C-alpha cells in the first residue's frame, strides 16, 4: 500500500527551529517529486516546497531562505527543516507525492502534522 | 504565476441535489487540473485528475469537465458523505476552496 506518514510537529516559539519527517512506504521517495503543502487554521492549501528525483529543490517565496527540503534515501523519508519560524508558519503540514510531465496531481498525501508557532 | 479562482466559496445543498463547482485559471492550462475533497481534520483526497479522469475508487457521481481556463466539478446526486470542502489545483497553485454545506 502506498502511504505517507508525517511526524515532528509541535509547539515552537517564534524564531525557533523544527524538523518534520515524512516516511514513505509502497514507493521510493528518491524516484519521485515530493512536496510539502501546508494549511493554516481555517484557510486553504498552500504549496511550500518540492524536491525533484534528481535532487533539485524549490521553495515558495514565503519560506525561501528559512526552510530546507531534503530526503534520506536509505530511510525512504522526506524532511522539512524549518528555521526562523514565524507565527504565520502555524499550519498543518502535509507531504505529498507530486505528479510529473504536466499531470501535477498530488497523490498520495500524508495525514498531516500540526506546527504551532507561538510564545 | 497562474491564479486559480473557484466559485462559489460556499454552497448550500440538500441530499440528492446536483452540485456544480467552477474553477477558472488566469491563463490556459490545457487539461492539467485536479480536484480534491477535504473533510475537517483530514488530508485532501484526490478525486479527479487531468480535468476529467476519475481517480480509482472515487464514486461515479463525481465528474470533471473543462479545458483551457474554465473547469467544473459536478456531483450528480449529493450524498451525506459529500459534505466537505473541494479544491481545484494546477501545478503548485490551489483554488481557495468551495465548502459544500447542508441546506
What's the confidence (pLDDT) of residue A86?
98
- Please, are residues B77 and B29 in contact by the beta-carbon 8 Å criterion? no
Q: What is the pLDDT of residue A100?
A: 84
Q: Residue B82 and residue B25: Cα distance in Å, rounded?
A: 25
pLDDT at residue A103, as a whole number: 87
Tell me: the pLDDT tens digits for B43-71? 999 999 999 999 999 999 999 999 999 99
Are the beta carbons of A47 and B92 separated by less than 8 Å? yes
Q: 3-class SS at B11? A: strand
Please give the radius of gyration of chain A, using alpha carbons only, rounded to the nearest integer.
13
Q: Which of A41, A44, A61 is the best mutation test for B, with the most CBs of B within 10 A?
A: A44
- Give residue A31's pLDDT: 96
What are the distances in angstroms from CA A43 to CA A10, B40, B79, B92, B98? Answer: 19, 12, 25, 16, 11
pLDDT tens track for B72-94: 999 999 999 999 999 999 999 99
Q: Which residues of A touch B30 (CB under 8 A)?
A: 102
pLDDT of residue B64: 98
Walk along chain A (119 residues) and give the pLDDT tens digit of each residue.
999 999 999 999 999 999 999 999 999 999 999 999 999 999 999 999 999 999 999 999 999 999 999 999 999 999 999 999 999 999 999 999 998 887 899 999 999 999 999 99
Minimal C-alpha gap between A5 and chain B (Å): 11
Q: Do A46 and B94 lie within an 8 Å CB cutoff?
A: yes
The closest of B71, B59, B74 to B17, measured between CA atoms, is B74
3-state secondary structure chain A: CCEEEEECCEEECCCCCEEEEEEEECCCHHHCEEEEEEECCCCCEEEEEEECCCCCEEECCCCCCCEEEEEECCCCEEEEEECCCCHHHCEEEEEEEECCCCCCCEEEECCCEEEEECC
Backbone φ, ψ for residue A29 (5° rounding): -55, -45
Amino acid at each position: 500500500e502506498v502511504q505517507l506518514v508525517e511526524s515532528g510537529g509541535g509547539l515552537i516559539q517564534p524564531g525557533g527551529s523544527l524538523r518534520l519527517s515524512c516516511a514513505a512506504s509502497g514507493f521510493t521517495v528518491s524516484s519521485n517529486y515530493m512536496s510539502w503543502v501546508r494549511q493554516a487554521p481555517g484557510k486553504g492549501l498552500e504549496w511550500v516546497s518540492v524536491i525533484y528525483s534528481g535532487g533539485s529543490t524549490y521553495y515558495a517565496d514565503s519560506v525561501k531562505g528559512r526552510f530546507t527540503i531534503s530526503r534520506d534515501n536509505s530511510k525512504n523519508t522526506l524532511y522539512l527543516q524549518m528555521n526562523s519560524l514565524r507565527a504565520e508558519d502555524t499550519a498543518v503540514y502535509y507531504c505529498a507525492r507530486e505528479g510529473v510531465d504536466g499531470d501535477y496531481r498530488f497523490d498520495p498525501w500524508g495525514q498531516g502534522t500540526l506546527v504551532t508557532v507561538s510564545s | 504565476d497562474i491564479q486559480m479562482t473557484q466559485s462559489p466559496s460556499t454552497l448550500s445543498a440538500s441530499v440528492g441535489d446536483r452540485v456544480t463547482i467552477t474553477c477558472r485559471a488566469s491563463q490556459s492550462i490545457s487539461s492539467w487540473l485536479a480536484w480534491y475533497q477535504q473533510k475537517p481534520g483530514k488530508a485532501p483526497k484526490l478525486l479527479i485528475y487531468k480535468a476529467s479522469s476519475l481517480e480509482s475508487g472515487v464514486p461515479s457521481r463525481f465528474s470533471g469537465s473543462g479545458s483551457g481556463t474554465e473547469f467544473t466539478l459536478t456531483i450528480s446526486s449529493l450524498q451525506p458523505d459529500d459534505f466537505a470542502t473541494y479544491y481545484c489545483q494546477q501545478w503548485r497553485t490551489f483554488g481557495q476552496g468551495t465548502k459544500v454545506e447542508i441546506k
